[in-house]
Structure 1
Amino acid sequence: MAKKSYTLIVVPDHESPVKRYRVQKSLFLQVGGGLLLLAGLALGATLHYFQVARDAAENRILREENLTLRGQLKSVRERIEHIGSTLDRVERFDQKLRAITLLSDPQRNLAMGPVEQEPGVGSPAAETQFTELASMESPKALSGKLDRLSAEATRQEQSLHELQAYFQDQKSLLASTPSLWPTRGWVTSDFGSRLDPYTADRVMHAGMDIAAPHGKDVFAPSDGTVVFAGLEGGYGNVIVIDHGYGIKTRYGHLAKILVKAGDRVKRGGLIAAVGNTGRSTGPHLHYEVRVNGIPQNPRKFILEE
């Protein structure tokens, strides 16, 4: 069977002869298939280019969103760290407030201070927890830590509500608690056992010695009534204030006494001046707090830093 073919006639201009070309049908099919293949490849390449361009645009958007999220995450971590340190301060203040209320020791008429935990007992310090939280990168981990932070804030809120209710019922007790420094200076001898500066024997020091310039003001740390003002042996000039609830404070070695027995004093009221009277090695204030006649560490009552 003869192969089918096509005749291609080319008619030139003017008087040139007509040219005839015979082309086999199979060649037409091959050329057409090749053109279709090239068109398909061109179309595929075009679609691939647009896909790559779209992916590149999406990747750029994702990078920008990622940078934004990183910035937001850093901001969240900083805020969490700030909240954590704030809660830590609230916790310490809460403990100190409870140290001067019945809430910290229901078996006594007045608590002497916060109960210290045994080593290794209790939860980690809030600062450690929140430092760990601030270093976490995983959003899931951050979410879990935030839940615990929220629970801690709720617990602190409940605790402070308890304290608020208690203080509303115990205003007179709070006003009578010696929570201020009686004078400002340097604590040269704390409460507890010490070597006597005169005999070098180890004896119990029933208060604290606060070194200060001669004549520096001495203030009442809380409301009360002066029950003694005068000379008392080795303590020199002495003032004793009864604050009620079995609490009394004593101020020794005074240069000047500005109150007398029977006077009512208010928290922060001026009562005396620092001196060097009695058995003293230099100008200082000897300050005692006694509850039902028993000496207590004055630091347990002082709320000021």
Structure 2
Amino acid sequence: MAKKSFTLMVIPDHDAPVKRYTIQRSFLTQVGMGLMLVVGLGVGASVHYFQVAADASENRILREENLTLRSQLKSVRERIEHIGSTLDRVERFDQKLRAVTLLSDPQRNLAMGPTEPEAGTSAPATDTQFTQLTSTETPKALMGRLDRLSAEATRQEQSLQELQAYFQDQKSLLASTPSIWPARGWVTSDFGSRLDPYTADRVMHGGMDIAAPHGKEVFAPSDGTVVFAGLEGGYGNVLVIDHGYGIKTRYGHLSKMLVKAGDKVKRGMHIAAVGNTGRSTGPHLHYEVRVNGIGQNPRKFILEE
């Protein structure tokens, strides 16, 4: 049979007696199992500690990221609110401009009536669908709001481009509309029916005669393009300027022409000189304004005194 105990002998130095200790095998087994249990518990505790430490570190990082995301989300909400408020103001301004210019906007189905609220009604609230933000909105809801803001911004951009084109066209129209005296002098014959100085018959005078000294400057009354520069029957030396929008001006009896066909002219530009060429009784400028080929009274196109 296997021994159930062990004898441990301790032999000291010198003459001391040898000491014997008897250790039961079961005791050694229990001690070994205890040591193994302690080591196992130590290893388990170490693993648990490191896991807890790692979780704590990860939780700290997550908390920091959460705080950062909350701050960014707040900033996004504030920016959305600012953008929304700006778009609201732009839309109201757009409506006012369209009311002034009488431009319609079928996309919004805007009525081009008064922009002020009627009596007994209140003005629209400052906050609209774009500025009503809440602190509990989810990222998904914010993305939806951003999509709507993006669509509205695109629509506003198109609307403002249309208004810009309108005002640019109006600016071009104003620049192309005759508005100043083509020459300084005294009017000897106005637009309308008059007695012909050669035949004494009553005929239609399609322009205005401005008497002035020979060589007096003739100016372009507005922006345009010279479409004719040459002799034309009884009018002698003639210039014709096309101002666009169906408006043309004619200058007759010139002594000198300083521009030629194809030249661009600006309002106030020196283009010719008063003369006495053609069928004329003295130095003067024959000035006509035609709109879509129909003669108009030049005085309607002179804003100067």
TM-score in terms of structure 1 length:
0.48
Higher alpha-carbon Rg: 2
